[in-house]
Amino acid sequence: MDLMKKVVALAKRRGFIFPGSAIYGGLANTYDYGPFGIELLRNIRNFWWQYFVSSRPEIYGLETSILMNPKVWESSGHTQSFTDALIECKQCHIRTRADHLIENYFHKKKKEIKVEGKSSEELNEIILKEEINCPSCGKSDWTPPREFNLLFETKVGIVPENQSKIYLRGETAQGMFVDFKQILDTISPKLPFGLAQSGKAFRNEITQGQNVFRTLEFDLAEFEYYIKQENWEKTFEYWKEEINKFVSDLGVKKANLRWRPHDKNELSHYSQRTEDLEYKFPFGFKEWYAIAYRTDFDLKNHMEKSGVDLQYTDPKTNQKFIPHVIEPTFGLSRTILVLLTDAYTEEKDRVFLKLSPKIAPFKVAVFPLLANKPELIKKAKTVFNSLKDKYHTAWDNHGNIGKRYRRQDEVGTPWCITIDFDTLKDDTVTIRHRDTMKQERINIKKLNKYFQEKL
């Protein structure tokens, strides 16, 4: 079984990621997060917020609406330029993205090919030249690629004949541009400053069954960092390095990472420079995070289309100008897949997730050695209650101690505490370490300080 299948199986078995709407046969490209998955996602989101927002006085948080006036997406260029190339098999009528079909074909041949930024005509030439077969029916009989827009459409209004078409947001960035003037008017920030938010985004994607790597609905975190134009290169490099530090703190192996600059013909309509931080998934190097220099594209277009002045006034010179923007973007749903893949570890007689304690779903698990001894249960509950408010702590008294260790290993819990008969005598407990399986005895009174130092 390849690594991807193992990770997906563990994620489902241990309650990280479930197929969406499973009892009704599912809905393609949708997933639910189980008890451990949601804890991991919350930890990632909170860690991101603390690292990039709470700890930086010049970055301010926002929570903007998923539904926005459709003129926002027209002004931003998304209704015209937010597209992918779709092809359809003439035999079985499966639809897929042309670039994904080509990438998967060459990945199986253990070759890399760059298809980012290629036109529909260029993609079609590659498919015809290689005679790439359909992954469903095995035939090589495709329609020419055609562009389709990734924005989800919906309608607002009670009376059907009076309903208006709007879009689910395809990124969180536009809310931070549209609210720019209100931020200036209310808190008067000084350049450079950032606006940050995390939340749901939606894209009408066609995926290749790679779990939560690419889905219709996903968690995104990003911030717009407003600067003077002349400072963009220095600021770009600064935030690129901060992303490196953040990823290192997540515990991801450096050997599985690389930065890839976008070619000119690959750049988004709003970008002058973009680089992707790619992770080596089992299906090849793919985009994980990104950083883009969006120039003054968004504010300038919203100012022109709305008629509202979105210029910044320098408090020292009274000069008015439209700030430029550096945008780091973080796919949080995709981060779960990265962390599960990177942390997945097999040893002779066990599987465990070598997750950083900072983002592990549970930090500590507490066990009574035996589940049928009231005195052990009572003491274990006392220890559990003393830890649970400071560290997300699991309680487990099902099965023998070996099985409990294995369960906690598979969900990435760094430390397990066992209360045994010696605990009743001297108030010491056994701490077992996930990665090494080594054990040590420590007094109950020292547990809080012990974990404070570890975390």
- Report the pLDDT value the prediction gives residue 250, as an integer from 0 to 100: 96
Do the domains 83-149 and 3-74+150-342 match in fold? no
3-74+150-342: what fold? BirA Bifunctional Protein; domain 2 (3.30.930)
Residue 413 confidence (pLDDT): 97
pLDDT tens profile 227-284? 999 999 999 999 999 999 999 999 999 999 999 999 887 888 888 899 999 999 998 8
Q: Specify the fold of 362-454.
A: Rossmann fold (3.40.50)
Burial class (CB in 10 A: 0-12, 13-18, 19+), 289: buried
pLDDT band at 1 (very low <50, low <70, confident <90, very high): low
Per-residue pLDDT tens digits for 350-409 = 999 999 999 999 999 999 999 899 999 999 999 999 999 999 999 999 989 999 999 999
Domain positions in the chain: 3-74+150-342, 83-149, 362-454
Interval 179-202: pLDDT, tens: 999 999 999 999 999 999 999 999
Kindly indicate the confidence band of residue 116, based on its pLDDT and cuts at 50, 70 and 90: confident
- Structure confidence at residue 59 as a pLDDT band (50, 70, 90): very high
Distance CA 38, CA 46 (A): 12
Report the interhelical angle of 374-387 vs 447-454 (nearest 10°): 50
Contacts of 92 (CB under 8 A, 6+ apart): 134, 136, 137, 139
Residue whose tokens read 């919203």: 302
Phi-psi domain of 383 (left: phi exceeds 0; alpha: psi -120 through 50; beta: other): alpha
Residue with tokens 């400071």: 390
pTM, rounded to two decimals: 0.88
- Domain 83-149: which topology? Herpes Virus-1 (3.30.40)
Please report the pLDDT score of residue 33 as a whole number. 96
pLDDT tens per residue across span 120-165: 888 888 998 898 999 889 999 999 888 878 899 999 988 777 788 9
CA distance 217 to 306: 29
